[in-house]
């Protein structure tokens, strides 16, 4: 925390006053020249969104981030705080962060006229120079711009015509700061109109006051394109005043999606130490989101948020943690059967079309998990033939024969030792994994065994039944083809 100084001391220090655009630009240029990361944690945007964002800042534009939900729009806006100077000087006591070099409020102008170089200057840290407002239909002009404060007028014994009776809204209070307005289309059209002059000329209008307050604000808006038809729209003159519109997108590869999930999921250090998550399990989790974005049952226009996999990962860890508590074990590994615990994370994060509603959210969630399993299976193992021919052996023949005489029950609450003893008893299954996944880690090999069993049930080569505590795998009634 920097201590207060006088205006003279500020000038003697060599401080140069600059607009917020110039401040952000200067810090951006310095970071680029120093080869420092500018927008950290924005995985998958390095060659798309980030270059456009840099250009918009260098152009001095207000920015509209347009994209479906869960595409890090707010995170992008918040990351711009790192481009502000660490501290900003203001006239002490100013409600709207008046610069002592260019005061715009009556309070600051009068104080500097009276005290001159002895005017006290205080400092605002960059963490306090970020203002964020969610645009909802009940937001009004008073909230954003301001209004007359009758209590202030009565207390100070001032007429309503005096500028000092004004109560400033969020936007004037964000002077010389970054102001983010989320979900802009949700803002009523008449309220959007009140932003016209602020974006173009920096003026604000409160009631009947003739104010000329050249506010200095970096505006960042966020919007979902689906909002343009469902709930509202951005009025054309306002869009015209926003310098750059940047489209965001979902991660385009499993690897990038994994990085986002690992970065954002709230998992304690203790849970990380006790619970092993196989690499294949992490990939499968992301495949579920990719499957949802391609699903005929899910509304593609609504999007599938990255929060789906973040929440799902947290649920997976919770399932494993519950197993540790109930079994009194010290360590455990995520299993494919644990993926049933992510269903609440899926059903709460997807919008279904009519056909999906008919199927039911839980059923759609299971279909998405099944599709993800098949995608992963086919990347590792040979496809399961649809038709079996007498005398022709496939990679899965011996596994299916094993289930002619045996069944397998995999319990959620089994300790790792018990769980994998059961799984490893299926010798033909071990042989397949050793042939096609020999370079995998031990955890991935174990996980891939479950993937094979799951894929065989989806291809109707085995039966799979489920209850509250276990999955049971059994013969699908086709053993006669392999009995000899």
CB 414 within 8 A of CB 326: no
CB 213 within 8 A of CB 204: yes
Residue-averaged pLDDT of the chain: 90
Q: Pick the closest to residue 412 from 344, 328, 326 (CA basis).
A: 326
Helix (H) or strand (E) holding 432: helix 427-436
Q: Do the bridges between strand 408-411 and strand 120-125 make them parallel or antiparallel, or are there none, so unpaired?
A: unpaired
- From the number of C-beta atoms within 10 Å of its C-beta (0-12, 13-18, 19+), residue 209 rates as middle
Torsion of CA 472, 477, 478, 479, to 10 degrees: 80
User: From residue 345, how far is each of 75, 314, 315, 362 by CA, in Å?
Assistant: 21, 9, 8, 10
User: From residue 23, how far is each of 29, 74, 214 by CA, in Å?
Assistant: 10, 21, 17
Count Cα neighbours of 371 within 13 Å in the Cβ-side half-sphere.
18
Place of tokens 């070099």: 101
Q: What is the token pair recorded at 11?
A: 């000038």
CB 221 within 8 A of CB 181: yes
Q: What is the pLDDT of residue 300?
A: 87
Q: What is the pLDDT of residue 164?
A: 75
Between 35-44, 52-61, 202-211, the lowest mean confidence (pLDDT) is in 202-211
Between CA 450 and CA 463 the distance in angstroms is 14
Helix (H) or strand (E) holding 457: helix 442-458
Q: What is the token pair recorded at 355?
A: 């056909």
Q: E strands of 232-387, at which residues?
A: 244-247, 275-276, 332-333
CB 333 within 8 A of CB 416: yes
CB 196 within 8 A of CB 238: yes
pLDDT in tens, 402-436: 999 999 999 999 999 999 999 999 999 999 999 99
Per-residue b/e over 437-475, b at no fewer than 16 CB within 10 Å? beebeebbbbbbbbbbbbbbbbbebbbbeeeeeebebbb
**Residue 434 vs residue 136, higher pLDDT:** 434
pLDDT in tens, 145-191: 888 877 877 887 777 667 777 888 899 899 999 999 998 988 888 88
Beta bridge partners of 220: 63, 180
Q: What is the arithmetic mean of pLDDT over 45-62? A: 95
Residue 81 has pLDDT above 80, yes or no: yes
pLDDT in tens, 348-398: 899 999 999 999 999 999 999 999 999 999 999 999 987 666 667 889 999
Q: What is the token pair recorded at 474?
A: 């059994």
Residue 320 has pLDDT above 90, yes or no: yes
The terminus-to-terminus CA distance of the chain in angstroms comes to: 82
Residue 87 has pLDDT above 60, yes or no: yes
């Amino acid at each position: 925390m920097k201590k207060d100084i006088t205006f003279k001391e500020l000038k003697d220090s060599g401080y140069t006053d600059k607009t917020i655009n110039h401040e952000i630009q200067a810090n951006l240029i310095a970071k680029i020249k120093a080869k420092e990361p500018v927008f950290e944690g924005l995985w998958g945007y390095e060659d798309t969104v980030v270059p456009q964002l840099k250009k918009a800042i260098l152009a001095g534009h207000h920015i509209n981030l347009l994209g479906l939900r869960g595409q890090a729009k707010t995170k992008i806006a918040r990351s711009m705080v790192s481009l502000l100077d660490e501290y900003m000087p203001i006239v002490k006591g100013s409600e709207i962060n008046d610069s002592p070099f260019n005061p715009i409020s009556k309070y600051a102008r009068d104080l500097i006229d009276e005290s001159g170089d002895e005017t006290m200057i205080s400092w605002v840290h960059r963490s306090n120079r970020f203002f964020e407002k969610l645009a909802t239909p009940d937001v009004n002009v008073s909230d954003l711009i301001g209004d007359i404060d009758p209590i202030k007028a009565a207390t100070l014994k001032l007429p309503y015509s005096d500028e000092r009776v004004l109560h400033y809204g969020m936007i004037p209070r964000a002077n010389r700061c970054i102001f983010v307005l989320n979900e802009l289309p949700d803002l009523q059209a008449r309220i959007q109109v009140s932003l016209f002059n602020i974006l173009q000329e920096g003026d604000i209008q409160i009631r009947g006051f003739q104010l000329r307050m050249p506010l200095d604000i970096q505006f960042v808006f966020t919007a979902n394109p689906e909002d343009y038809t469902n709930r509202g729209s951005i009025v054309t003159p306002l869009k015209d005043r926003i310098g750059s519109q940047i489209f965001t997108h979902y991660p385009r590869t499993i690897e990038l999606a994994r990085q986002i999930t690992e970065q954002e999921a709230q998992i304690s250090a203790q849970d990380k130490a006790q619970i092993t998550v196989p690499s294949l399990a992490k990939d499968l989790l992301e495949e579920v989101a990719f499957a949802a974005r391609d699903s005929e049952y899910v509304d593609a226009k609504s999007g599938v948020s990255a929060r789906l996999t973040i929440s799902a990962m947290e649920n997976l860890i919770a399932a494993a943690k519950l197993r540790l508590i109930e079994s009194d074990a010290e360590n455990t590994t995520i299993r494919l059967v644990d993926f049933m615990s992510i269903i609440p994370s899926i059903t709460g994060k997807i919008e279904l079309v009519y056909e999906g509603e008919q199927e039911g959210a839980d059923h759609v969630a299971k279909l998405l998990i099944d599709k993800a399993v098949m995608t992963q299976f086919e990347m590792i193992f040979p496809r399961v033939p649809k038709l079996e021919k007498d005398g022709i052996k496939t990679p899965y023949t011996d596994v299916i024969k094993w289930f002619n005489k045996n069944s397998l029950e995999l319990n959620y609450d089994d300790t790792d030792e018990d769980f994998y003893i059961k799984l490893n008893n299926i010798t033909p299954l071990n042989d397949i994994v050793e042939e096609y996944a020999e370079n995998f880690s031990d955890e991935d090999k174990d996980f891939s065994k479950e993937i094979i069993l799951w894929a065989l049930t989806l291809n109707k080569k085995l039966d799979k039944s489920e209850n509250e505590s276990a999955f049971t795998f059994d013969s699908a009634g086709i053993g006669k083809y392999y009995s000899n």
